[in-house]
Structure 1
């Protein structure tokens, strides 16, 4: 008798479970005159900022440098810029003082002149205003178009002070570097930033020929892009028997363009 009762209870439960979906389906069917649906339009508008973007901490591009750095070590406008702007470039690259080589080509890195005072290789400042370990570049794109851009650099001849002599065949090597961009949360170790910008680097001949060293394709490169360059990876390349005694000086010209071709 107990077994029969258990069987009947189980059967009842199964029947109730099978009927539940039918009842729910009927309840979801609107009757005449009821309206069960609607639509909402979500809208947001954005405008490009007009306040100039100033240099940022190269190790954390989300932090602006405070206090704002002066122009002593910034070869770009230290007040920054709006839209598409170069906001940091090294004011100086110092390759040091060396004995003339008459037997072999030589390569000198940009740490050689670190004791040269005001003309030492420029290092990007950190958020607290102290020097970081990096030279390099910073580009800000706040146009809101994501049209892309590229940064070119060329070099004049290295000219002997008070004379017309130049270093024939000299070149400057810039590394692709490590890239960071504003808005990223981690530490990159590659030449690709989170915003899609790409570090290229290159060998810059001292004859005025421009080379693209940093770029962002269309749809890439928004915000602030920092190209960290270790001064130990920035080189002056000199051929044997091409220099006289004395100090040589040249100028690197940086040009930021909105052309991605």
Structure 2
């Protein structure tokens, strides 16, 4: 009995030594999500929305504008306002081969473009339409009423490479013919798109150029023909 009791006491003392001896305490820090707000302020002066926007060279946007050969007298429309057509290229076409009853002519321009500026800065969007007039003979006034225009491959590029919404500005399917005497939607900037200055490149893809098509039976004499292309920029509905 005595031996067993001593054994129990010894065991108890050992346990008490553990419980009553020096104790190490570990502290656990509780993390919480915290946020603070500060205010950033600045003073801004609106840009010029009254004067005309100068043409931007489509091949060298950062350099000076140089008109295309054959269009040297075209230095821009001079239009003023917050939604403007700044530049519209004149186009020259060269006659190609006749296929059946169809006579065609292909645009010779290499840097033709239409320049659009939206300085409303409200993201309302805009539409660009084209009304192609019938070509008329410069000698006898003959009208080629059976004709059409294929606008070919087109694309919008921003005048400044880092323009916001870069793009979505949609363009006409180049394979779809433009009917003479009817307004055709060529380009459209949707909501929050088309802000700033944009260039619609024309005839810059040799695989899908701008072309005119005529009924060869209407071409009765050799002469120069000219027709008006009316480009119109309107606010999106």
Normalising by structure 2, report the TM-score.
0.70
* Number of residue-to-residue matches in the alignment: 203
Q: Quote the Cα distance in structure 2 between the aligned partners of 1:97 and 1:212.
A: 26
Q: 1:109 aligns with which of 101, 106, 109?
A: 106
CA apart distance, 1:153: 1.0
Contact 2:152 2:210 in 1 (8 A): yes
Answer whether contact 1:54 1:80 (CA < 8 A) is retained: no
Q: 2:158 aligns with which of 167, 170, 181?
A: 181
Q: How does 1:77-92 map to 2 (within 5 A)?
A: 77=77, 79=78, 81-91=80-90
Paired residue for 1:195, among 144, 148, 167? 167
Q: Is 1:141 aligned to 2:115, yes or no?
A: no
Q: What do residues 193-237 of structure 1 show as CA deviations (whole Å, max 9, x unaligned)?
A: 71321122552223x211111110122100111121226411011
Q: Deviations over 1:177-203 (max 9, x none)?
A: 1321134359xxxxxx71321122552
Q: How many Å apart are 1:40 and its aligned residue?
A: 3.8
State the secondary structure of the residue aligned to 1:56. coil
Moved over 6 A (4+): none
- For residues 88 and 104 of structure 1, the distance between their equivalents in structure 2, rounded to whole angstroms, comes to 36
How far, CA to CA, are the matches of 2:155 and 2:81 in structure 1?
24
Q: Distance in 1 between matches of 2:156 and 2:144?
A: 32
Query: Counterparts of 2:94 and 2:120 in 1: how far apart (Å)?
Result: 40
Q: In the alignment, which residue of structure 2 is the partner of 1:225?
A: 198
The answer to which structure has the higher strand fraction is 2
**Is 1:249 matched with 2:223?**
no
* 8 Å contact kept, 1:136–1:228: yes
8 Å CA contact 1:48, 1:143 repeated in 2? no
Give the match for residue 166 of structure 1: 143
User: 1:129-166 deviations in whole A, cap 9, x for unaligned?
Assistant: xxxx3212111111111111011111222111232421
- Unpaired segments ≥5 residues, structure 2: 1-21
The answer as to whether partners of 2:159 and 2:198 remain within 8 angstroms in 1 is: yes
Aligned to 1:21: 29
Stretches of structure 1 lacking an aligned partner (at least 5 in a row): 1-11, 26-35, 112-120, 122-132, 187-192
Separation in structure 1 between the aligned mates of residue 39 and residue 80 of structure 2, nearest angstrom: 36
| Other-structure match for 2:134 | 157
